[in-house]
Structure 1
Amino acid sequence: MEKEFSSEPSWTMFVDGSSNSEGCGAGFILTSPQGFKIQFALHFKFSASNNKAEYEALIAGLRMAKAIQVKRLAIRGDSQLVVNQVNRDYKAQDDRIAANLSMAKELVASFKVFEMHRIPKNKNGKADALSRLSMEALAQLDGVSVYQKFI
């Protein structure tokens, strides 16, 4: 989904999700036009497919952007499926993924300007690293299961 983009500065967000034997995780980096970064790593105690984890990352990032009243947002992600579903190039076949897509579209509608593009996995390394943090690694960061870093 793409809304008309203007020359006004926008926020950017790199987003990624991962799923492994320890559960699934999400990571995103939200950057203001001035370069201020908000980095999040979330670890979920449920198992999920990689596509579901990608959506969890996207939805968490969209919720954060909405909460801090971002109006213009450019998202970069490496999931071909998620990017193409959000941009309405692919349809969701699975009911659970369709529910995530619906939630993402609802959140996207709250932005004045929005775009989402697929990038190669090697260009999304920081968000990928955040999504892969294990529970043990998160527990070492001040004993919390959600890591946030503001730069």
Structure 2
Amino acid sequence: MKVTVHVDGGARGNPGPAAAAAVVRDAASGAVLDEATELLGETTNNVAEYRALLLGLARAAEVGADEVEVINDSELIARQVNGEYKVKHEAMKALHAAALQALAGFRAWSLRSVPRAQNAGADALVNQALDAA
């Protein structure tokens, strides 16, 4: 089964209170299969973006996906995972490695970044989680 996963992470203050969110949809019908948020405590926006990616991949695996298209609004994370940029920051190297390991569990995968407006569902979940905290 192929799914589309919209992920977003955000930190208010960067670093600041942070959250991650994921929306998993059936790629064929667009039906929402799962939504999830995770409060991350105090961290940076980039760490939150990676944690959102990991959350989305875990939820995609849980619904039985074997192919995943990940959409986020972080060009940096997309380019690092796709091998276009090197990961220089030490704190992000472990998250990058974990993301690659999680992606390897799928038969096929892709990751691309879009403008925030095209990732509104995941963005709204991040803000809801932070507002409720």
- Length-normalised TM-score, structure 1: 0.79
> What code does the residue aligned with 1:35 have?
G
> Which residue is 1:6 aligned to?
none
Corresponding residue pairs, total: 129
Judge conservation of contact 1:26–1:132 (CA < 8 Å) in 2: no
Q: Which residue of 1 aligns with 2:36?
A: 40
Quote the offset at 1:28 in angstroms.
Answer: 1.0
Higher mean alpha-carbon deviation, 46-55 vs 63-72, is at: 63-72
The answer for unaligned runs of 5 or more in structure 2 is none
Q: CA deviation at 1:47?
A: 0.9
Tell me the equivalent position of 2:79.
84
Contact kept, 8 Å, 2:37 with 2:129, in 1: the verdict is: no
Q: Distance in 2 between matches of 1:76 and 1:112?
A: 17
Aligned equivalents of 2:68 and 2:43: distance in 1?
27
Contact 1:73 1:114 (8 Å CA) reproduced:
yes
What are the superposed Cα offsets for residues 23-57 of structure 1, whole Å, 9 maximum, x if unpaired?
Answer: 1101111001333311112222x211100000011
CA RMSD of aligned residues (A): 1.7
Match of 2:63 in 1: 68
Q: Which has the larger radius of gyration?
A: 1
Partner of 2:6: 14
- Aligned-partner SS, 2:101: helix
- RCO higher in structure (CA 8 A, sep ≥6): 1
Q: Higher helix fraction: Structure 1 or Structure 2?
A: 2
Instruction: Please list the CA deviations of residues 36-81 of structure 1 after superposition, one character each: whole Å capped at 9, or x if unmatched.
Output: 311112222x211100000011001111112222101111111011
Q: Structure 1 CA distance, aligned partners of 2:117 and 2:31?
A: 23
Give distance in 1, aligned partners of 2:132 and 2:107: 37
Larger strand percent? 2
From the superposition, tell whether residues 136 and 121 of structure 1 become closer, same or farther in structure 2 (CA, over 3 Å): closer
Q: 1:129 to 1:136 in 2, by over 3 A?
A: closer
C-alpha contact 1:41 1:133 (8 A) present in aligned 2: no
Give the drift of 1:10: 2.2
1:52 match: secondary structure: helix
